[in-house]
Amino acid sequence: MAPQDTFFRSSEMSLTQLYIANEIGREVVSALGEIGQVQFRDLNPETNAFQRTFTKEIRRLDNVERQLRYFHSQMEKASIPMRSSSEFSDTLAAPLASEIDELAERSESLEQRIASLNDSYETLKKREVELSEWRWVLREAGGFFDRAHTHTEDIRQSFDNDEAPLLRDVEQHAPAGTTGDTQGQQSFSEMNIGFVAGVIPRDRIGAFERILWRTLRGNLYMNQSEIPEVIIDPTNNEEIHKNVFVIFAHGKNILAKIRKISESLGASLYGVDENSELRRDQIHEVNTRLGDVGNVLRNTKNTLDAELSQIARSLAAWMIIVKKEKAVYDTLNRFSYDQARKTLIAEAWCPTNSLSLIKSTLQDVNDRAGLSVPTIVNQIRTNKTPPTYVRTNKFTEAFQTIINSYGIPKYMEVNPGLYTIVTFPFLFAVMFGDVGHGSIMAMAASAMIFWEKKLHRTKLDELTYMAFYGRYIMLLMGLFSIYTGIIYNDIFSKAFTIFPSQWQWPEDIKAGQSVEATLKDGYRFPIGLDWNWHEAENSLLFSNSMKMKMSILLGWSHMTYALVHQLVNARHFKSKVDIFGNFIPGMLFFQSIFGYLALTILYKWIVNWPARGEDPPSLLNMLIFMFLSPGNIQEKLYSHQGTVQVLLLLIAVTQVPIMLFLKPFWLRYEHNRARALGYRGLGEQSRVSALEDDGDLNGGLGARDSMASDGEGVAMLAQDINEGEEHEEFDFSDVMIHQIIHTIEFCLNCISHTASYLRLWALSLAHQQLSIVLWDMTIGTAFGQENHIVRVIMIVICTYMFLVLSVAVLVTMEGVSAMLHSLRLHWVEAMSKHFMGEGIPFLPFSFKTLLEEDPVD
Amino acid sequence: MASGWSLFVGLIIIVAASLAAWFFSPKGENQTVWRSTLILSFVSCYLMWAIVFLAQLHPLIAPKRADIRPGRVPE
């Protein structure tokens, strides 16, 4: 049994082979999907999606899924709410195959039913629209006729007189003489004038008129009016404004032409009788038909809604089932199928510690199916790199995400996430230190944690979700900010005066007199910065020097701590050469320069310089002159300082060649020795003899790992050997170049990274100054008002402003900026000291992640 | 009251707290997280406190003010 999985390292993984009886393949895979601890390898990478075993089933499920989506879209159209998936129990157990069939059949018939209901609904709707359009035409056209009848005299006159225009008021320039056959009757039909009535979309009316005018050369009389109510197109639910038109013209050909033009422009034509009696009958008939259609329509709609709400109750569950089922078949397609023995063979990565759970689950599935053939779980030794799997919980998850977004840790290397839990919020707090702002942040985070379950179910927008995802980071950031706020003695830029000061002021002070405080004897301010610095003129002089040195010291501790992880890694991977060639020289280099600097900072603080009557030397100059003129001391810090500094410099300088050459040459020596003894890398036999003389030697580290195989009862898959992805050929120049880069980078980074921690000082200074400004601009000015009433009003307004701006600017904006800087300090300054990365993420087949990534509702 | 020896008192306190954190962390799969988080927090907080305390142990400059009103000398 492997040691317990911790957050310190990624879990130990095993490559296992599963022999599953064909009959229970589906059940086994869905049981493993519920556990979510197994990552299946694709055993048929060369076959495409259509050639795989279970393509048929997937197609069928795709169809069911499409039908379910169709129901969903219909529900959205009818605005029927779907029952949320969170209302169902979390463990929707794997359904039987027959249940899936049933579901498929049911959704098939439901789809037909819905579709036919929809069809008839749409047809009815269309009919209704037509009828109502017709009613409008009848009503409006009636008006035209009534008006036209009163003008028949005029019209007739125009016919009688060849020179007169067809209709004086409308078409002044209508060419005369086109209507030669004149008859003087009252009715239009007797005048041989026909008409076309219909409706047309309002935006086409202009084009319609123009086309008619051009084709008929003005031989028409057109009348139109707007329909006041909007008409809804049943096919796409769009609102359209339409106009009723009646066109009078004479001659059958012309009328036919008009009809054609109107139909081509999307107008719908309706029959209208010119006789007002008949027209009234028509209107009456249309109205009754409209009423009938409306009734039927309402019934259909009710049936459809009832059907849809029936489906809505269980649609989410069905969608989940189908989704899971599809994922199961997708996974089954990755297996290879043994025709002769009717078994499915799967290869999967799983955490070694979960093996027993997996085995017992498989046993359960077997028992339930009542199969005599057990599912065989076989562990395989392999030279493949296992995927990196760090077990997280809701607390550690967000911290691990910080690490993973920089790089997936290498398999079994030290996980920087563990120390990030503390150092990330702590370094943030160093920049954000203020009790007030820290408490706001901590309270917000606590609220999110308290209503965790409720918030988890609701859909949050992106920014809130990010804050919610990092709620535990936020809590720690807030708590540490409260602590650093106490140390900086800052609450909304004001000081606490709980403890007595270590400074005392002279007794008799005249107004406006500049005075300097004196130290009290044998008493020092116990926790944090003395509050007397807060109002002092030279407070920045003191706090800057203190914060700058603090940044260096914290940075030094952070980097040293990170550097030690290199040793832990080297010991775990049993690589002595990394200890002697990288860790020890690196550590010596770093400590002899920056460890020394940290030590002198402490020393300078401990010594009571005023009591000695000496001026303390500047540490910055000391460090610079340590490099520029070694052994030459301008301002003495302690005796024998020159000798010590020369010695330290020598130590640092000598580490560079050790770091450069030890590892590559040692690797070369080891490789050559292995070659001389006749060892070869696996799978390279064919080329060895030919290339041996060229010095192009194969094998190396990767080959050594692969040699360690052949225990009892372990199988080595033949196909894996030839894939050869793990065989790195040993190339000395490659290793050398890599090491040169590493050395230069490390040495330069020691300097730049230490300087980079000065951002702790810069940001904490900025935060403090900004909060002082905010106080002075708002509440500070309010208190300064002389007039009482103005002061009261100002205090109320300024308090609101102060609170809003504190949250928006000082907590949110400054918080984000400090967080980004803290993130950088981890990714660049700390993780570069030990992090190898390049791990392969473990992506287990899990229904839970599947549904989280692609939620059904 | 508080003098240079406080640094060592503080050190003893956090060492004791760290030992307690090591031994009393709840057993189980999260033990590592508990131990590392608690001990690192203690150490970080101690470091910060000690640095600020040290900086004020033998201060090289003293606060200066010109805006103190007579009779309102801060204590």
- Tell me the pLDDT tens digit for each residue of A580-613: 999 999 999 999 999 999 999 999 999 988 888 8
pLDDT digits (tens, 9 = 90+) for A148-178: 666 655 555 555 555 544 444 444 443 433 3
Q: How far is A694 from chain B (nearest CA, A)?
A: 51
| Encoded tokens for A724 | 């050869």
- Is the pLDDT confidence value at A40 over 70? yes
The residue behind tokens 């000690």 is B50
pLDDT digits (tens, 9 = 90+) for B13-71: 999 999 999 999 998 888 999 999 999 999 999 999 999 999 999 999 999 988 888 77
- Is the pLDDT confidence value at A551 over 90? yes
Contact B57 A605 (CB under 8 A): yes
Among B37, B63, B16, smallest CA distance to A505 is for B63
pLDDT, position A168: 47
| Between residues A33 and A179, the one the model is more confident about | A33
Task: Tell me the C-alpha distance between A341 and A332, whole Å.
Answer: 17
Interface probe for B, chosen from A432, A515, A531, A618 (most Cβ of B below 10 Å), is A515
CB atoms within 10 A of CB A350: 28
- Clarify whether residues A398 and A363 are in a common domain: no
| Between residues A64 and A140, the one the model is more confident about | A64
Within a domain: A315: no
pLDDT, position B29: 84
- Facing A525 at nearest CB: one of B56, B67, B73: B56
Average pLDDT over residues A50-72: 87
- Clarify whether residues A415 and A439 are in a common domain: yes
Average pLDDT over residues A86-104: 71
- Facing B51 at nearest CB: one of A483, A507, A550: A550
Contact B61 A511 (CB under 8 A): no
Over pLDDT 70: what percentage of chain A? 87
- Facing A419 at nearest CB: one of B36, B55, B61: B36
- Clarify whether residues A399 and A479 are in a common domain: yes
Amino acid at A84: S
Task: Find residue A200's DSSP bridge partners.
Answer: A243
pLDDT, position A174: 37
Q: Which residues of B lie inside 8 Å of A (Cβ-Cβ)?
A: 1-4, 6, 29-33, 36-37, 40-41, 44-45, 47-49, 51-70, 73-75
Q: How far is B62 from chain A (nearest CA, A)?
A: 6
pLDDT, position A709: 39
Closest residue in chain A to residue B53, using alpha carbons only: A528
Whether A93 and A30 have beta carbons less than 8 Å apart is answered as no
Three-state DSSP at A222 gives strand
- Clarify whether residues A164 and A257 are in a common domain: yes
Domain CATH number, residue A267: 3.30.70.2750
Closest residue in chain B to residue A505, using alpha carbons only: B73
pLDDT, position A682: 59
State ipTM: 0.96
Average pLDDT over residues A540-562: 95
Average pLDDT over residues A650-678: 92
> What Cα–Cα distance (Å) separates residue A605 from each residue in A18, A268, A414, A528, A598?
66, 96, 36, 15, 11
Among A519, A495, A508, A493, smallest CA distance to B68 is for A508
- Facing B63 at nearest CB: one of A393, A497, A533: A533
H helix intervals, A379-470:
397-406, 417-432, 435-450, 452-457, 462-469
- DSSP tag of A639: T
Within a domain: A127: no
- Is the pLDDT confidence value at A641 over 60? yes
- Clarify whether residues A193 and A278 are in a common domain: yes
- Clarify whether residues A279 and A179 are in a common domain: yes
Task: Tell me the C-alpha distance between A702 and A694, whole Å.
Answer: 21
Positive or negative, the CA dihedral A439, A444, A447, A452 is: negative
- Facing A516 at nearest CB: one of B55, B64, B70: B64
Over pLDDT 90: what percentage of chain A? 37
Contact A522 B3 (CB under 8 A): yes
Q: How far is A550 from chain B (nearest CA, A)?
A: 6
pLDDT digits (tens, 9 = 90+) for A333-383: 888 888 888 888 999 999 998 899 999 988 888 888 887 778 888 888 888
Q: Write the secondary structure of A253-270 as one string of H (helix), E (strand) and C (coil).
A: HHHHHHHHHHHHCCCEEC
Positive or negative, the CA dihedral A298, A300, A301, A307 is: positive
pLDDT digits (tens, 9 = 90+) for B46-62: 999 999 999 999 999 99
Closest residue in chain A to residue B7, using alpha carbons only: A526
The least confident of A151-160, A765-774, A832-841 is A151-160
pLDDT, position A276: 75
Query: A275-310 burial, b for 16+ CB within 10 Å, e for fewer?
Result: eeeebeebeeebeebbeebeeebeebeeebbebbee
Contact A553 B59 (CB under 8 A): no
Please give the model's pTM, rounded to 2 decimal places. 0.79
Positive or negative, the CA dihedral A465, A466, A470, A474 is: negative
Task: Please report which helix (H) or strand (E) contains residue A125, including its range.
Answer: helix A97-150
Contact A505 B74 (CB under 8 A): yes
Q: How many CA atoms lie within 13 A of A345 on its CB side?
A: 11
Closest residue in chain B to residue A608, using alpha carbons only: B58
Task: Tell me the C-alpha distance between A102 and A84, whole Å.
Answer: 23
pLDDT, position A700: 40
Average pLDDT over residues A201-205: 83
Which chain B residues are Cβ-neighbours of A556 within 8 angstroms?
none
Give A 216-235 residues with CB within 8 A of chain B.
none
Contact B56 A500 (CB under 8 A): no
- Clarify whether residues A256 and A373 are in a common domain: no
| Encoded tokens for A159 | 């016919």
pLDDT, position B20: 96
- Clarify whether residues A381 and A416 are in a common domain: no
pLDDT, position A242: 84
pLDDT digits (tens, 9 = 90+) for A690-747: 344 444 344 444 444 444 434 333 444 434 444 444 456 788 999 999 999 999 999 9
Average pLDDT over residues A658-678: 91
- Is the pLDDT confidence value at A128 over 70? yes
Whether A499 and B1 have beta carbons less than 8 Å apart is answered as no
pLDDT, position A316: 83
Within a domain: A542: no
Average pLDDT over residues A139-147: 75
Positive or negative, the CA dihedral A718, A722, A724, A729 is: positive
pLDDT, position A180: 37
pLDDT, position A711: 39
Domain span at residue A240? 154-283
Give A 565-604 residues with CB within 8 A of chain B.
602
Contact A546 B52 (CB under 8 A): yes
- Clarify whether residues A452 and A385 are in a common domain: no
Residue B20 has φ and ψ, to the nearest 5°, of -60, -45
Contact B68 A523 (CB under 8 A): no
Contact A528 B61 (CB under 8 A): no
Which chain B residues are Cβ-neighbours of A535 within 8 angstroms?
65, 67, 74
Amino acid at A836: M
Torsion of CA A713, A717, A720, A721, to 10 degrees: 80
Within a domain: A700: no
- Is the pLDDT confidence value at A804 over 80? yes
Q: Where are the domains of chain B?
A: 6-55
Whether A223 and A246 have beta carbons less than 8 Å apart is answered as yes
pLDDT digits (tens, 9 = 90+) for A252-303: 888 888 888 888 888 888 877 777 788 788 888 888 888 888 898 888 888 8
- For chain B, how big is the Rg over CA atoms in Å? 19
The total number of structural domains in chain A stands at: 3
pLDDT, position A235: 72
Task: Please report which helix (H) or strand (E) contains residue A152, including its range.
Answer: helix A152-160
Residue A233 has φ and ψ, to the nearest 5°, of -75, 120
- Is the pLDDT confidence value at A185 over 70? no
> What Cα–Cα distance (Å) separates residue A48 from each residue in A44, A45, A134, A326, A722?
8, 8, 58, 17, 22
Within a domain: A552: no
Closest residue in chain B to residue A487, using alpha carbons only: B49
pLDDT, position A837: 87
The least confident of A429-438, A717-726, A834-843 is A717-726
Size of interface A-B (CB pairs under 8 A): 165
- Clarify whether residues A467 and A481 are in a common domain: yes
- Clarify whether residues A417 and A375 are in a common domain: no
- Clarify whether residues A786 and A829 are in a common domain: yes
pLDDT band at A93 (very low <50, low <70, confident <90, very high): low
Task: Name the average pLDDT for chain A.
Answer: 83
pLDDT, position A51: 81
Contact B52 A487 (CB under 8 A): yes
Torsion of CA A637, A643, A647, A649, to 10 degrees: 60
